[in-house]
Structure 1
Amino acid sequence: MKNPNDSFLRGRLRSVKFALRGMWLLITTEDSIKAQLFFAIIATILGFCFHISSTEWMIQFLSIGLVLVAEALNTAVEKISDFVHSDYHKKIGFIKDIAAGSPSFAAIISLIIAGIIYVPKILLIL
């Protein structure tokens, strides 16, 4: 919550603190984020092994960020939905299913990007 007595800089620092806390909560409590971070680490290791270009690094990290953001937003929608209506409800289920679709789209696009980056490099080795 915004404190009206905070200066601009103090308010920004508080925002960063809340953002880092949110990231930590996601990493420590959400299995989907843990799984995506595992794949991000694997992709990063592969990037070093295959000496990908600066452009490929940028695209790879944007792809990783896309997946993590989609997972985080999906988690937020699920938590809000459970808070609003803790029992099963058809409309809440529909909302949660749609929210779960966004990280799926992001993951599919990330796999396509990984294929574009790494398949030609693997074919050169074979």
Structure 2
Amino acid sequence: MGNSYISRRIASFGYAFSGIAAFLRSEPHARIHAAATLFVVAAGCWYKLSPPEWIWIVMTISLVWITEMFNTVVEKIMDHLSPQQHPKVKWIKDVAAGAVLVAAMGAVITGALIFIPHIC
């Protein structure tokens, strides 16, 4: 039991990393988020952010990545289930995209609140 349990847990990490890699390869927005993440982390290092500031940055970056990944999953599922145009499918996909926009706007505001005092 122990060996198979451990090997299944290790395999589950492999599946998760495979999913992240597939997301980065297939989605242009994922690459934009990756570039923004690298830029923000580099700026955080440059301005020597405090630990509480880093907590907000990491939480905000995570929120944007999570919402973008869930948005992608929702879009792929809806495209699979309903390849033709349908008003309810459009609504579902629009709301999922709206969640990403809300997270991104929150990230911009959080970044401004953290970085503007360091810049000025």
TM-score for both structures, normalised by structure 2: 0.94
Q: Which letter maps to 1:60?
A: I
Name the structure where helix makes up a greater proportion of residues.
Answer: 2
Q: Given the alignment of the two structures, is residue 41 of structure 1 paired with residue 38 of structure 2, yes or no?
A: yes
Distance in 1 of aligned mates of 2:11 and 2:98: 32
Shift of residue 90, structure 1, vs aligned partner:
0.7
Give the corresponding residue for 2:12.
15
| Residue correspondence of structure 1 range 1-126 to structure 2 within 5 A | 7-123=4-120
SS at match of 2:48: coil
Shift of residue 58, structure 1, vs aligned partner:
1.7
Identity level (%): 30
Which is further off, 8-17 or 71-80? 8-17
Distance in 1 of aligned mates of 2:11 and 2:43: 36
The Cα RMSD (Å) is 1.0
Distance in 2 of aligned mates of 1:81 and 1:42: 33
Distance in 2 of aligned mates of 1:40 and 1:17: 23
Q: Which letter maps to 1:49?
A: W
SS at match of 1:7: helix
Give the corresponding residue for 1:3.
none
Distance in 2 of aligned mates of 1:121 and 1:19: 36
Q: Which letter maps to 2:83?
A: S
Distance in 2 of aligned mates of 1:59 and 1:26: 24
Deviations, residues 59-82 of structure 1 (Å, cap 9, x unaligned): 101111110010000000000000
- Structure 1 segments, 4+ long, off by >3 Å, are none
Shift of residue 7, structure 1, vs aligned partner:
2.1
- Tell me, which stretches of 5 or more residues in structure 2 are unaligned? none
- Tell me, which stretches of 5 or more residues in structure 1 are unaligned? 1-5
